[in-house]
Structure 1
Amino acid sequence: MKTRIIFAMLLICAMSTTVHAQIKIGGKKINVDKAVQAGTDAAKAITLSDADVIRLCGEYMEWMDAHNPLTSPDSEYGKRLAKMVGHITEVEGGFKVNFGVYEVIDVNAFACGDGSIRICAGLMDVMTDDEVMAVIGHEIGHLVNTDVKDAWKSAYLRSAAKNAAGAVSSTAAKLTDSQYGELAEAFAGAQFSQKQENQADDYAFKFCIENDIDPYAMAKALNKLVELYNSGGEKSSRIQQMFSSHPDSEKRAKRMTEKADKYTGK
């Protein structure tokens, strides 16, 4: 039975920046407001290199995969994803990528700064292979355009993890559960600009063309999310947060449809 992912995160649509006073992870309450307040001045003095981001993101994804139901490669979801992306190990800019499916009900997908891309089973349940691939292309676009790296840096500096002794040292111990939880909350609050979203959509379109995928796939994916949201019921409730914080999905879908029309000569 699918559960909910421990944080609601969808990078195809920017999320709300609201930070709750407390979040609960593993039965523990974490006072996020206090954690973020502590060391605010110190954050200004911290600089994270690209190597730091990749290392910390890799550790963060180990924690995420351990705390969410990651499907096995021989599961229905795992086999379906492998069929779609098994040939993709590196993308533009030499970015090495890895994929996985969280068996949760969220209609979500996200990328992290180490090249990890995770798809939620709820999204795979409602989308065709081409539409899922378009979403994956969008996430890759955020990676290639450094949106994810910049968002992760910002999340790190907004969280109490920045105060961990030697946190950016290659010999430092891994962060604690509480610090990873604070990072999850901060990362979930990352918000991309409309320009960044449009650029990621454009990358998804190019990605679809290069991989012989329906050029209308990104437009269809966005339209499907809009339809699900407007339909009401359980599936609608799974994407309410996404649409409440990013109401321009219909405009993006229209823009991508026009782009595909131009490409196909319609």
Structure 2
Amino acid sequence: MKIKSFLAIALLVILNISTANAQINLGEKALGALQNGVASFTFSNEDAAKLSKEAVRKMDSTNVVAGPKDGYTLRLNRIFGKHASENGLALNYKVYLTKDVNAFATADGSVRVYSGLMDIMDDNQLLAVIGHEIGHVANEDTKDAMKAALRKAALIDAVSSQSDKVAKLTDSQLGQIGNAMLDSKHSRKQESEADTFSYDFMKKHGYDVNAVE
């Protein structure tokens, strides 16, 4: 069923329940679930970017971020700084000082690399990983990840397409969203497409494409 058809039917059901004394009573929980379904489908790229920006701001405040003169920052600037506008995306990047091995990118173009990952990878491998994460942004997988994070954190009701909604979320709620984003899993197809993006990124700039493997 096409999304437009689903939305039209869902909205009609909601309208009938609230105004026509319908004989079928779905109950508050069922109605809430239906409204949540509509909200998740109408969640735009702009909404995802605004919410991601706020969630990452919260994550930055709760992690130890490498300073501008830190060796990790200098290395990341050297190998990745020239790609901050890759594929028309406005990317901002920082290093989290932690032994964890991870990296992520969000819908607003935030790229965060963990020092633990940098410790075990050479420059080409690190670029391949970052290229993969940028692929998720370019392919809009990060919007799907944000939807999943909102569902997991049970915060769909707190967010809508209205721009003022993001500012009203508490730091605690933004923390929940950030944690849920980190835990979210992309589909196998999305991961494969991000790998392809990384390969093309490496090849385009003359890097060792074997690092993608």
Normalised by the shorter chain, which TM-score bucket? 0.7 to 0.9
Whether 1:98 aligns to 2:92 is: yes
Aligned match of 2:156 in 147, 155, 162?
162
Whether 1:76 aligns to 2:37 is: no
Q: What residue is the counterpart of 1:35 in the other structure?
A: none
Return closer, same or farther for 1:40/1:183 CA change in 2, 3 Å cut-off: farther
Return closer, same or farther for 1:192/1:171 CA change in 2, 3 Å cut-off: closer
Q: Deviations over 1:183-224 (max 9, x none)?
A: 1332233221222211111111111111221121111xxxxx
Q: What residue is the counterpart of 1:36 in the other structure?
A: none
Which has a greater percent of helix? 2
Is the Cα–Cα contact under 8 Å of residues 167 and 175 in structure 1 kept in the other structure? no
Q: Point out the structure with max Rg over C-alpha.
A: 2
Whether 1:183 aligns to 2:160 is: no
Q: How does 1:114-133 map to 2 (within 5 A)?
A: 114-133=108-127
Q: What residue is the counterpart of 1:57 in the other structure?
A: 52
Q: What residue is the counterpart of 2:36 in the other structure?
A: 43
Q: Distance between the aligned counterparts of 1:174 and 1:122, measured in 2? A: 34
Q: Deviations over 1:72-105 (max 9, x none)?
A: 121000000000111122222x321111100011
Q: Deviations over 1:157-182 (max 9, x none)?
A: 33233233x65432343421321232
Is the Cα–Cα contact under 8 Å of residues 98 and 115 in structure 2 kept in the other structure? yes
Aligned match of 1:210 in 201, 204, 207?
204
**1:42 Cα offset (Å):** 3.6
Q: How does 1:136-151 map to 2 (within 5 A)?
A: 136-151=130-145
How much is the aligned-residue C-alpha RMSD, in angstroms? Answer: 1.7
Q: Distance between the aligned counterparts of 1:41 and 1:133, measured in 2? A: 42
Letter in 1 for 2:127: M
Structure 2 spans left out of the alignment, 5+ residues: 1-31
Q: Distance between the aligned counterparts of 1:63 and 1:178, measured in 2? A: 9
Aligned-residue sequence identity (percent) comes to: 40
TM-score by length of 2: 0.77
Q: Distance between the aligned counterparts of 1:110 and 1:174, measured in 2? A: 25
Q: Distance between the aligned counterparts of 1:211 and 1:134, measured in 2? A: 11
Is the Cα–Cα contact under 8 Å of residues 93 and 112 in structure 2 kept in the other structure? yes
TM-score by length of 1: 0.63
Higher relative contact order (CA 8 A, sep 6+): 1
Structure 1 runs (4+) deviating above 3 angstroms are 39-42
Letter in 1 for 2:85: E
Letter in 2 for 1:83: R
SS at match of 1:198: helix
Letter in 2 for 1:44: G
Q: Distance between the aligned counterparts of 2:113 and 2:36, measured in 1? A: 31
Is the Cα–Cα contact under 8 Å of residues 129 and 212 in structure 2 kept in the other structure? yes
**1:140 Cα offset (Å):** 0.8
Return closer, same or farther for 1:168/1:69 CA change in 2, 3 Å cut-off: farther
